Amino acid sequence: MWEAIAFYSLAIFLIYFAFKTITVPNPIHAALYLVLTMIGLGAAFFNLGAQFIAGVQMIVYAGAVMVLFVMVLMLFDLKAELRAFSRGLFSGGLKVMSAALLAGLAIGAANSSVAILENPDSAKPVADVTRQLGILLYTKYLYAFEALGILLLAVAVGVVAVSRIKGGTHAQH
């Protein structure tokens, strides 16, 4: 019963964050909502018992979205946005509560990982799947994996170049 309540609560939050991602006019807020959506999706996978997929979701997708967030920050002039993030008691409390929530999630994930590793029967299938995935990724799909890395590097260099051209928000005069 508690699993169902947790799943449907996460589903409601995921739908809300995804909706806010595509409806807010501020691109920085949209990127933050997208990060929250990806973190919530990782939590949903974890709740469903797919710890490996949850970890990949958090590392790859939430991490990649953070790179996207940094690129958005490079493209926009954020002097006006600074005031929105740095004032008020409510904003400060929200930042502290968010940090506490993330710390709690990290501690819970670490405790769950230790519990899985202490029980050798439950850890063996996870290790086998992870090993097979690694072998497949670094043998059959190695060139696609490397091409993706080069593509992401080209995107990062392109964003920096576009933000520095004449008329850009960070242009050098």
**For range 88-92, the mean pLDDT:** 74
pLDDT digits 0-9 by tens, 57-79: 888 777 776 777 767 666 666 56
> In the prediction, which pLDDT does 78 show?
59
Check whether residue 3 and residue 74 sit in a common domain.
yes
- What pLDDT was estimated at residue 135? 82
Average pLDDT, stretch 96-120? 77
Residue 36 and residue 71: Cα distance in Å, rounded?
17
pTM above 0.85, yes or no: no
Place of tokens 């949850």: 54
Looking at residue 170, what is its pLDDT? 54
88 vs 39 pLDDT, higher one: 39
Output the domain CATH number for residue 8: 1.20.120.1200
C-alpha 43/C-alpha 105 separation (Å) is 9
Of residues 92 and 76, the one with the higher pLDDT is 92
For residues 37 and 84, the model is more confident at: 37
- Write down which residue in 13, 45, 78 finishes a domain: 78
Q: Could you count the other beta carbons within 10 Å of the beta carbon of residue 156? A: 14
Q: How do residues 16-25 score in pLDDT, each as one tens digit?
A: 998 898 888 7
C-alpha closest to that of 62 among 74, 75, 53, 49? 53
104 domain residue, yes or no: no
Q: Which range of residues forms the domain containing residue 145?
A: 127-166
Residues 133 and 71 in one domain: no
Total structural domains within the chain: 2
Say if residues 155 and 70 touch (Cβ distance below 8 Å). Answer: no
Question: Is residue 108 domain-resident?
Answer: no
Give yes or no for a contact between 38 and 57, defined as CB atoms under 8 angstroms apart: yes
Residue 1 lies in a domain: yes
Which residues lie below 8 Å from residue 145, measured CB to CB, with a gap of 6+? 137, 138
Residue 166 DSSP label: T
- Choose among 58, 68, 60: nearest CA to 32: 68
Taking alpha carbons only, the member of 105, 33, 19, 23 closest to residue 68 is 33
Q: Rounded distance, CA 105 to CA 27, Å?
A: 26
Stronger pLDDT, 133 or 117, i.e. the higher one: 133
- Are both 5 and 71 inside the same structural domain? yes
Mean pLDDT of the chain: 76
- Nearest CA among 59, 63, 41 for reference residue 50: 41
84 occurs within a structural domain: no
Is 28's pLDDT higher than 60? yes
* CA 14 – CA 38 distance, rounded (Å): 8
Question: Could you give the CA distance from residue 96 to residue 98 in angstroms, rounded to a whole number?
Answer: 5
Query: Looking at the domain assignment, is residue 71 inside a domain?
Result: yes
Q: Is 38 exposed, middle or buried (CB count within 10 Å of its CB: 0-12, 13-18, 19+)? A: buried
- Among residues of the chain, what percentage have pLDDT more than 90? 3
